[in-house]
Chains A and B, each alone.
Chain A
């Protein structure tokens, strides 16, 4: 098995040698990844048009975000991977500084301070940390023998815990967890023993009660309770989940048709164009549509893992794995929460939900993936 896996980069690089670099390769673009992204973003805009109540303005706005995202991706793909590796820790220090600044002078939104206002441009430092934290952990571990030893592991945990804690006090539990996960994925891909992983899981389960009692704010507890029993508060917190489940369920296999979803078109579905947009897709395109989107996501994920497998450096591998898994977490948490499997946390459906920040971060991540993919090719030149 491992032999087979090791064969792959060799055969790929072998073919790369024989041919001159294509246009795509010259611009460090991973064609399968790009094509998948284009399909998903196009589908996203289609659903958004319906979810926004057929508001072309919202679609154009989101299209502009995508444009910015693709440019960011293109630029990121041009940067040599070693630069990312070297800049990582400096980004990290800068990011920590920004997070502290947010906690002190940030702009509030819905009871949480997440934004920094820089000359009229609102900016969410925690979003950037989704890339910077794994970069830093990967930078730290790339210098060391893998799998990492225990003391290095502790250092990694410290790197992860500091920004996570700063985001948690904003408070933004969802993002804090996502950032912690993105860092931990690096550690996972670095190959720490399964005993650590299971040990950590057992510890997490055991600490659930004290965290519930002392760690979570009331609204956070409420979200979890609401997920467990949405009927308990039909018109309050449970409303979102009941309506999204109704939207999805009433879509059936075929869906009600584009622009014909009654739940979303008649405003029963809250946040229909942002976090709950999968419910619009489920209602209007049915289970078929859900399977198609999920298939596209799965192909994206597999391509990400594939790029990791082909990477030459440990840094590239760990980053590719972490970025791919983080992308997966977005998908899993969002689709799970809208379907009532997970508590409602503010996680958008990647590349489909309306919103600029997450698009730019995600596309920057894909740019990084392309840089990893390009590194493998440039090295082989």
Chain B
């Protein structure tokens, strides 16, 4: 069939067009109806869903972090303050190119690897449009530089925030501890809603122990924000409940005295209020500036602290475990009296050494190397304590046996945590046959009992434990679980009392007289501190061996390296007649107790002469 001649047929074309128009109108109407159905389903069927979503978009629940409780010393001196600090944070959603922005920021101010690392971790956990902190504690200059460059840095915000500041960081570093930025593990364990908007948490010490009380309760506000997260107005507000303020038993003057008296030496001082069990001073040297930790310590600073041979981060007062040395002797004496093995008048022959029956080995008294003989032909209790006679206590220990010692010393709190309201307390060791079997799977040897009798060998105590047991001796039996915190928001906190150490008044008297003679007798081992004293001190010196001395060797200070010198210890309470303060001092590698007792005297001076101005004045007059 030949192709039809192309002839225009206007009527046919108009007909075709009309048919196509009808089809087009149908298609157009159908598709518009489809669109309308879609709008109907969004606006009518799913109205509630989208209305809620729009409301949630518009209204944001913002956390209002509570103000952390302040910490004061007993006189009301502010120790832990909250100060405004500026922090740089980033709303990631508003940043067009995060890497470029971070690079730009690094040109303006230092941002450490640690800052970046924690930023990225927090970024992964953030809610949309939540600001992620990048740098804390901006300086004035950094803030100015940021302000100038603000136009080029969308999504970068600088906000003021209250932040912990320790007014006497180094002095109270170990006593109060510090707060630090919440780390990943803590964030995981914490009640996240309670810590929304809070970047810091107590890490150690009182700050950690009382975290719940200091933190307070988070508040919230409903704010209307725009898509950029800018708050337009506050719709509703639930105020945060600020954390409670703590007043400590600690006395800043005592603390400073102890800290300065220890000086460059490594050591610890713990002073207790014998009337309340409150901790008046708790010092461990070397200290460190606790403010360093608030915003994440730089790795250089941290490794310097961590790797220092002086281990400044180690809280010697509660974590340090040292052989008590002769400071255990007053407790041994009381054990002897209570067990009936000795009386105050009972004497022991002292040739300067002691020998176990059926054993040729000689256990030397410390005085032997000085005088070549014992303290006296026969030594009674008062002299044994005053001059720290080893032979007397070797003999007592042998007769008491190690398990007898355990029974009588354990009530003083040795070998157990005191339960003080801070972190990282250690328990020390009060050995017994059972302890040795459990821990070393070995039988107890009789010679070890003699070492234990003079506070050497396995026996370990913390300076805090020594202070607690000194308070027991001072109060004739009252046993406190010591407390750093004196009151919470003005409400007094009472230190719990543990079962008292029972003994007859005569027995207490005998032991205390021995300790009095340590300072106030002609041959007392700490008689040198009695000079110019306006009150009477009872004390006991101690020396703890750092390295084992072979049987025939005699310890000579000048022969051993500084780190191998003996630790010097001293425990004391005062005033003798009506004690108010109990002190324990340890000076690591101090050589002997002479390094420790002047410190105790300075602390007690400060305490007693501070308490009433008249005494201070009287002391000044008589001294002149």
Which chain A residues have a beta carbon within 8 Å of chain B's beta carbons? 1-2, 5-6, 144-147, 188-191, 234-235, 243, 245-253, 262-263, 266-268, 282-283, 286-287, 290-291, 294, 297-298, 301-302, 305, 308-309, 314, 317-318, 321, 324-325, 328, 331-332, 335-336, 339-341
Contact = CB atoms under 8 A, between A and B. Distances in A.
A283 B7 CA distance: 55
A17 B43 CA distance: 50
Contacts, number: 159
Contact of A247 (B29, B54, B228): B54
A268 B227 contact: yes
Contacts of A245: 42, 50
Given A189-B24, A248-B42, A268-B226, A147 B16 contact: yes
Contacts of B53: 246, 249-250
Contact of B8 (A145, A305, A331): A145
Interface stretch (B30-38, B370-378, B402-410): B30-38
A100 B22 CA distance: 38
B5 to A, nearest CB: 9
19 contacts: A6-B14, A6-B15, A147-B16, A246-B57, A248-B43, A249-B47, A250-B47, A251-B43, A252-B44, A266-B224, A266-B225, A268-B54, A268-B58, A283-B54, A290-B36, A301-B25, A302-B25, A321-B17, A325-B28
B44 A146 contact: no
Contacts of A146: 12-13, 16
Contacts of B12: 146
Contact of B226 (A267, A294, A328, A335): A267
A267 B129 CA distance: 14
Given A234-B128, A282-B43, A294-B36, A249 B50 contact: yes
Nearest to B18: A5
A144 to B, nearest CB: 7
A321 B20 contact: yes
A145 B28 CA distance: 27
A338 B43 CA distance: 13
A282 B13 contact: no
A254 to B, nearest CB: 10
A339 B447 CA distance: 91
B436 interface: no
Contacts of A325: 24, 28
B482 to A, nearest CB: 54
Contacts of B43: 248-249, 251-253, 282, 286-287, 290
B46 interface: yes
B32 A294 contact: yes
Contacts of A290: 36, 39, 43
Given A262-B57, A286-B43, 7 more contacts: A5-B14, A144-B6, A147-B16, A245-B50, A248-B39, A268-B58, A298-B29
Contact of A282 (B25, B28, B32, B39): B39
A341 B38 contact: yes
Please indicate which of the listed interface residues A243, A246, A297, A340 has the most CB atoms of chain B within 10 Å of its own CB.
A246
Contacts of A298: 28-29, 32
Given A246-B50, A298-B29, A341-B35, A287 B44 contact: yes
Nearest to B225: A266
Q: Helix, strand, loop or mixed for chain A's interface?
A: helix
A191 B17 contact: yes
B50 A248 contact: yes
B54 A263 contact: yes
A332 B32 contact: yes
Contacts of B57: 243, 246, 262-263, 266, 268
A251 B40 CA distance: 11
Given A245-B50, A250-B50, A266-B226, A188 B20 contact: yes
A328 B30 CA distance: 12
Contacts of B39: 248, 282, 287, 290, 335, 339
Interface centre among A145, A235, A331 (most CB of B within 10 A): A145
A263 B59 CA distance: 11
Nearest to B20: A189
Contacts of B226: 266-268
Contacts of B50: 245-246, 248-250
Contacts of B34: 341
Contacts of B10: 314
B232 A301 contact: no
- Of A247, A249, A324, the most chain B CB neighbours within 10 A belong to A249
Contact of A331 (B24, B32, B224): B32
A91 B313 CA distance: 84
Contact of A235 (B7, B44, B51, B93): B93
Nearest to B3: A149
Contact of B18 (A190, A291, A309): A309
B9 interface: yes
A314 B54 contact: no
Contacts of B93: 235
Contacts of A286: 43
A318 B24 CA distance: 12
A308 B17 contact: yes
B24 A252 contact: no
A115 B175 CA distance: 71
Q: Which of B9, B11, B38 has the most CB of A within 10 A?
A: B38
A250 B54 contact: yes
B424 interface: no
B49 interface: yes
B15 A2 contact: yes
A270 B166 CA distance: 47
B19 A191 contact: yes
Identify the 10 closest CB pairs spanning chains A and B, nearest first.
A249-B50, A250-B54, A191-B16, A5-B18, A266-B226, A267-B227, A249-B42, A287-B43, A268-B227, A262-B58
Nearest to B17: A317
A302 B11 CA distance: 22
Contacts of B442: none
A309 B16 CA distance: 11
Given A245-B50, A339-B35, A309 B20 contact: no
A336 B35 contact: yes
Task: Name the residue among B6, B32, B43, B58 with the largest chain A CB count within 10 angstroms.
Answer: B43
A144 B16 CA distance: 14
Contacts of B21: 189, 305, 308-309, 321
Contacts of A314: 8, 10, 13, 17
B23 to A, nearest CB: 8
B54 A246 contact: yes
Contacts of A287: 39-40, 43-44
Contacts of B11: 6
Given A188-B20, A249-B50, A328 B13 contact: no
B238 to A, nearest CB: 23
A354 B474 CA distance: 89
A328 B28 contact: yes
Contacts of A317: 13-14, 17
